[in-house]
Every structure is written in C-alpha cells, then in structure tokens.
Amino acid sequence: MSRIAVFGPASELTEAIIDCLSRQDGQVVRVATAAVNPLAPANEDAIAAAFDGLGAITGLVCVTLDPRSTATGPLSWARWTEASRGIATIALLGLRHGGPLVQPGGAIVLVAAPGPSDPASEAAHGILLGLSRGASGGFAARGIRVNRVATDFTRNAADQAEAVAFLVSDAARFVTGADIGRGRQEER
Amino acid sequence: MASAATVVTGAAGGIGSAIAARLAGAGRRLVLIDRRPPELPAGADGISLACDIADPASVAAAFQHIGLRVQCIDGLVNVAGRNLTASIEDMQVADWHAMLDVNVGGMLAIADAVLPLMDTAANPVIVNMASVAGYMASADHPAYVATKAGVEGLSQGLSHLLGPRGIRVHTVAPGWVDTGFTHAATASLSAAEAEALLSRAANQHLLRRIARPDEIADVVLWLLSPKARYLHGTTLFVDGGLMRVH
C-alpha cells in the first residue's frame, strides 16, 4: 500500500499532483504547505516540524516554485537569491527532512512548478536536476530512487502530474538519477 | 586606448592559472580575479585583484576598479568554484548556500558586471566551467554535483539572453584534472588510498589518464577565439571520454 507525501508551496502543479495521486490506490499526505514559504526557505525548523509525526512513507514529492518578484533585474543578486532558494533550497530541505521517512523500495521526485525563464531560474532548475542526480547516490544505498521532472514538456498541469506519479510508482522501479523534460521553461 | 581584456575568475587555482597562462601566451590582456590577488603570468599585460564573487559589494568594488583600467572586455572565463564534502543529511544550509552562491551565483554576478564592458568587443564570449561531476550520483558531494549541473542551466539561460546581443556562451565540463582541487578531495585518504583512487579514476577515462590543466586551457582558448564563432550554448566535455563510459 503506497503512502506518498507531497511537500511544497501552494501551486496549480501541487494541486494537480495531489489530485493525480489521489486517483490511485494508496494514501496521499499533504505536508504543511503553509510552512513552505519560498521566500523564506531558511525557516528550516518549520519545515522539520511539518514532517514531524508523519511516519513512514513510500514516496516523497518535493514541489518547488520560483517566486519571481518583478522588482529585480534578470541578472541581479536579489533575483539569483530568490530563484535559487525558492527552487533549490526548498528541494534540499524536503530531501533532508522528508527523505529519512521514505522506506526502502520507495521513491522521491523533485519537480519545479512552471515559472520564469531567465538565467537565474535556468540555473536553479539546473541545480534541482543536479541535486536529484547527486542525491540518487546516497539514497540508492537505502534502496530509494530519486528523479526529477521538468515541467517544460507540456503546459498542462495534469500531464505534468502524470509524469510525477509515474516516477513515484512501481512501474519506474529501475529508474533513478533520471529526469523527464528538458528543463527550459517557456516565458509566459 | 588599451586593447580588450579577458577576465578569468578562480585564476589562482589549477585550471584558472593554466587558462591565464595560455591567454597570456596568446598575447591577451588579462583581468585575473580570485579570493586573493592571483599572480600574473610572467610578461603578461593586465591586472590582478581580490574579489569575493559571492558578495555583491565585493564584485561592485572590483569592477569599479577594473572600469578605471579597462574599457573593453571581450572574454569572461568563470572558473572559480569550491567543493563541499557532506551528505544531504549532514549538510549545513549555510554551507549549501555558500556552494550555490560561489559556484553558480558568482558566475551570474560576474557576467552581470562584465556585460557593460562587452558592448564594444569584436568577439565577446563567456565560458563557464562546469564538470562531468554534474552528471554523477554522489553520496558525499551532492552539493558539488548540484551546483555543477546548475552551471549548465545558467549557461543555457545566458545563451538565450545574450545570443541576440552577439555574445557567445559556452560551458566546459572537464573530467578529473590534475590540480590542487582534485588532490584536496583525496586529502582524507592515506597516500596509498589516494594513489589507488587516482589510478582508478584515470582508468575510467577512455584515454586512460586524467587531464592536465593546460589541456582544459587549450580548449577554453579555442572557444574564446573567432574560430569558434558559430558555437553557442553548447557544453563541451573535455574529459578524455569519461562521459562515454558512464
């Protein structure tokens, strides 16, 4: 019986993933969306508390979001900070605090909600990809898979969610360190 | 007016200093940056200065100084990077952010600072140093893997932003290179263990040896040259075939 935690800020993608997983057998647990403010991801204690008492899970989905503000230039340090923390640090904290709850044979998926396409964001998406590749090594020792979904292959949130649901499912049991999607976001 | 200059970050390190030496040998004017002022190669024309690339105030101060001495920059080689040995569980968030800000954010900050000086360059090029490590699973160095994959993402974003301005952007991804950085990664091992590790690493490359820094530098020099004038937004693996066996 699967038990999958979905961690991340409120977004259309988060809801689509929960909806998609809920139509399958097993339990879906939403992890404290309110604790995950992408503009303040350094609030690690709140994130740790959100996972407290969750118990064993078979899957973990970390949804991240680039909280682009309009006040910053595309190459500014403020832009870099918000994109990198919103996408990469949230994912790291999800892995740190949710990862230990995933049981052997389970799976983790990192995914970034559709967002802007500028160098800071592209870099943060690259870090998310690299984090899934890098972390797949440590988690493999515990029999846990780690993969990434880039949402650029479709604009349909339900279809993006299907890719996430596939990677946490048993059908992807020999897939780890991989990614679906190319990573470049369409500017919208 | 003086000729255009090429900026190299991490110019005190193994790869950075080899690139500086090759550029000097090609008669290019240099702006060398590192945490401490790097040594200019013998006979080289240029300046050398200290800068923390992950500190916007330090970058601003450095480029205020550079702007007084240099009117045009035709090349940026972003080499500066650091390593972090820590599992996901043991990593401190402050250390993770330092990795992000030096290995990726610093490249973006230096590119931003250089751009106003690139407008008049005849052949403006940015080369960002990634690594084959950006493709590897690693229990001990996930932050290094993450940030090196991030460099490719940054280059992708910059290539879209700057291509229309005629600025070419490249990523170079070395495999193992014989530098202090590589040897520091084996510092916790005994001499015999380190030698065994480096020997195994050498045998993982199709060319059966790890790279010398000048072999990375030669590729960078070519990418900066007009001979590579239609190459843009690509990642060039300078890895002796390492990616072909993984």
pLDDT band at residue A40 under the 50/70/90 scheme: confident
| Residue of B184, B76, B89, B186 whose CA lies nearest to B143 | B89
Each residue's pLDDT tens digit, B222-240: 999 999 999 999 999 999 9
Q: How much is the average pLDDT of A93-106?
A: 96
pLDDT band at residue A35 under the 50/70/90 scheme: confident
For the domain that residue A136 is a member of, what is the CATH number?
A: 3.40.50.720
Report helix, strand or coil for A33.
helix
Report the residue of A51, A77, A108 to disrupt the B interface, i.e. the one with the largest count of B CBs within 10 Å. Answer: A77
Residue B92 has pLDDT above 60, yes or no: yes
- CB burial readout A103-121, b (16+ within 10 A) else e: eeebbbbbbbbbbbbbbbb
Residue B154: the pLDDT is 97
Residue B217: the pLDDT is 98
Q: How much is the average pLDDT of A173-178?
A: 95
Which of the pair, B197 or B125, is modelled with greater confidence? B125
Domain of A37, in residue numbers: 3-180
Residue A10 lies in a domain: yes
Residue A3: the pLDDT is 97
Minimum mean pLDDT range among A127-136, A139-148, A179-188, B230-239: A179-188
Residue A185 lies in a domain: no
Residue B245: the pLDDT is 80
Report the residue of B78, B88, B155 to disrupt the A interface, i.e. the one with the largest count of A CBs within 10 Å. Answer: B88
Element (H, E) at A94: helix A90-98
For A177, the closest chain B residue by CA position comes to B137
Contacts of B115 in chain A (CB under 8 A): 75
Q: State the catalytic residue, choosing from B76, B118, B144, B228.
A: B144
Residue B246: the pLDDT is 60
For A94, the closest chain B residue by CA position comes to B88
Restricting to B residues 168-207, those with a Cβ less than 8 Å away from any Cβ of A are none
Dihedral sign computed on CA atoms, order B82, B87, B91, B96 = positive
Share of chain A above pLDDT 70, in %: 96
Residue A188 has pLDDT above 60, yes or no: no
Residue A188 lies in a domain: no
Element (H, E) at B111: helix B106-118
Residue A65 lies in a domain: yes
pLDDT band at residue A184 under the 50/70/90 scheme: low
Q: How much is the average pLDDT of A99-106?
A: 97
Task: Give CA–CA dist B167/A184, Å, rounded.
Answer: 20
Residue B1 has pLDDT above 70, yes or no: no
Residue B41 has pLDDT above 90, yes or no: yes
The four Cα atoms B146, B148, B154, B160 give a dihedral, to 10 degrees, of -120
Residue B240: the pLDDT is 95
Task: Give CA–CA dist B189/A129, Å, rounded.
Answer: 30
Q: How much is the average pLDDT of B42-49?
A: 96
Burial class of residue B122 in the structure, from the number of CB atoms within 10 Å of its CB (0-12 exposed, 13-18 middle, 19+ buried): exposed
Each residue's pLDDT tens digit, B124-179: 999 999 999 999 999 999 999 999 999 999 999 999 999 999 999 999 999 999 99
Each residue's pLDDT tens digit, A146-173: 999 998 888 899 999 999 999 999 999 9
The Cα of B173 is separated from the nearest Cα of chain A by a number of Å equal to 14
Which of the pair, B184 or B30, is modelled with greater confidence? B30
Residue A186 lies in a domain: no
Q: The domain B5-245 belongs to what CATH superfamily?
A: NAD(P)-binding Rossmann-like Domain (3.40.50.720)
Whether B88 and chain A come into contact, CB under 8 Å, resolves to: yes
Share of chain A above pLDDT 90, in %: 74
For B108, the closest chain A residue by CA position comes to A75
Which of the pair, A44 or B40, is modelled with greater confidence? B40
The Cα of A38 is separated from the nearest Cα of chain B by a number of Å equal to 15
Q: What total number of domains does chain A contain?
A: 1
Element (H, E) at B237: strand B235-238
Whether B156 and chain A come into contact, CB under 8 Å, resolves to: yes
Sequence ranges of the domains in chain B: 5-245
Give yes or no: B135 in active site. no
Residue A111 lies in a domain: yes
